[in-house]
Amino acid sequence: MQSRMCKLMILLPITMVMLLGPYAATLWGLDTILVKQYSGYDPNDDRIHWVSPDILLVEHSIYFNAQIPYMTLINIETNKIHKLIIPDIEPKANCLYNILDVDMAAQMVLFVVFIDAIEGKKIRPSIDKYYLYDVASDRITNLETEAEAIQANPDAYFKEFRYFDTLDYDSNTKRYFVRKEDRYAMIQDVISGKQDRYPYYYERDQYDKEWGLFFIKETYDYCVIPYDGKQLGEKQVIGFNMHGYSKFFLGRYLVGVYAKTMEDMLDIGVEPVAIENLHTNTILQFKNVYSITPNQQMYAVNPQKNLIAVCGFSYSYIDRDYIRAMYLFRYYPKGKINDSRVRYRSGPSTSAEVLGMFEKGERVIILERSAKPMTIGEDTKYWYKVQRSDGKAVWVYGAFLTIVD
């Protein structure tokens, strides 16, 4: 943390540069399209997070000496950029924001502000202030100032953001197990001093609730462990090609960096962004998009809207210069109907109008999924908005849909 606190960097003006035309590449059943490119971000230290289906948050991990520090919210549907500023931080304070936890479904963000208190030539230990941000209402809650109100009714603030499953390892039995964590209790322990710090969410193993899989990395191997919410399955080794930190999506793909040779790199440690198919161990590199190998949060996957965000670099061959930018890609998985006479509807609900029937084996393109899963009979699945071969967009229940390469 101290190494990040010591970095003094200047953020370029935050402006949207351009809306680019389609850049498409066939990717084992995914069509990857470059939708937008934003400038003003620094891939050396900035971290990115999807905080709602339409909003990307940029965590600027630097000092701002001339103004109050802020985080940036990008609405990718309206192209509006909003600065998130904490009202009780002193102007020109030497401080930075650090994301502790995010839940896109609940649209809640837990973060801390580290403030360097300087008195003349004396530097006191940094002050930590903890906040909860509700994206939908744009409400910022100081967790210490409003501690009594939160304790009286935690769910009025944390709601669906409160609990999550995390993977842990028992060294005695040499087996993994799932532990349910309480975000409210954890942050209370940190504020009260019972716990040293809140664990950063990107340090936890990723859990893909949509496909019921934990994603872990052991030394050089990438592995998945099935988990249906009740029982943990056996670990499966699935790949090893990607470098550093990677993001897992669709139960079979990784987005990260990959360089086969030194010539593939833009610079030492700056490698091409790529997607790996974990079923076939095949790699597709994004054209002229690079990222830094060890950064934990330079890629963010939005599974509801089929979007991948990358805070990275491109290279200008004319000016012989790096171009630092935020890239946004949309991918379209291909699916297959796995049962006969499957109803498709006008919306993601059994009460929505039935528009017709799919036949078994019919191929579709997946456009997006519902915000929450629904339980029907013994299945708890998401609904998917899909495009039929005739171009019509309809909704189908996930139990009747299989992703295909």
Same domain, 119 and 172: yes
Same domain, 228 and 103: yes
pLDDT-flagged residues of the chain (< 70): 1-35, 61-68, 91-93, 117-125, 318-319, 405
Q: Domain end: 271, 306, 332, which one?
A: 332
Question: 154: exposed, middle or buried (C-beta count within 10 Å: 0-12, 13-18, 19+)?
Answer: middle
Q: Which domain holds residue 42?
A: 2-332
Residue 45 near residue 9 (C-beta atoms within 8 A) = yes
Q: Whole-angstrom Cα distance, residue 219 to residue 128?
A: 34
The 10s digit of each residue's pLDDT in 171-213 is: 898 899 999 999 999 999 999 889 988 988 888 889 988 888 9
| pLDDT score, position 7 | 32
DSSP 186: H
The rounded Cα 114 to chain-centroid distance in angstroms is: 23
| pLDDT score, position 61 | 62
Q: Whole-angstrom Cα distance, residue 304 to residue 393?
A: 16
Same domain, 327 and 302: yes
Q: Which residue has the tokens 């990857």?
A: 32
Same domain, 112 and 143: yes
Q: Domain end: 298, 332, 366, which one?
A: 332
Q: What is the CATH number of the domain that holds 13?
A: 2.120.10
Q: Whole-angstrom Cα distance, residue 203 to residue 99?
A: 12
What are the DSSP calls for 320-360, one per residue? TEEEEEEEEEEEE-EEEE-SSSEEEESSSSTTSPEEEEEPT
Q: Minimal CA–CA distance to 88: which of 127, 134, 137, 45?
A: 127
Same domain, 310 and 341: no
Q: Whole-angstrom Cα distance, residue 366 to residue 308?
A: 15
Same domain, 183 and 289: yes
Q: Which residue has the tokens 């699945």?
A: 381
Same domain, 277 and 392: no
Same domain, 123 and 240: yes
Same domain, 257 and 350: no
Q: Whole-angstrom Cα distance, residue 52 to residue 104?
A: 5
Q: What is the CATH number of the domain that holds 339?
A: 2.30.30.40
Largest CA distance in the chain: 76
List the structure tokens of 369: 């999924």
DSSP E strands, 143-220? 163-170, 175-182, 206-208, 213-218
Same domain, 321 and 354: no
Q: Whole-angstrom Cα distance, residue 370 to residue 360?
A: 22
| pLDDT score, position 280 | 81
Q: Whole-angstrom Cα distance, residue 19 to residue 391?
A: 25
Same domain, 388 and 266: no
Please tell me the total count of domains within the chain. Answer: 2
Q: Domain end: 316, 332, 348, which one?
A: 332
Q: Which residue has the tokens 């059994």?
A: 350
Same domain, 191 and 258: yes
| pLDDT score, position 18 | 28
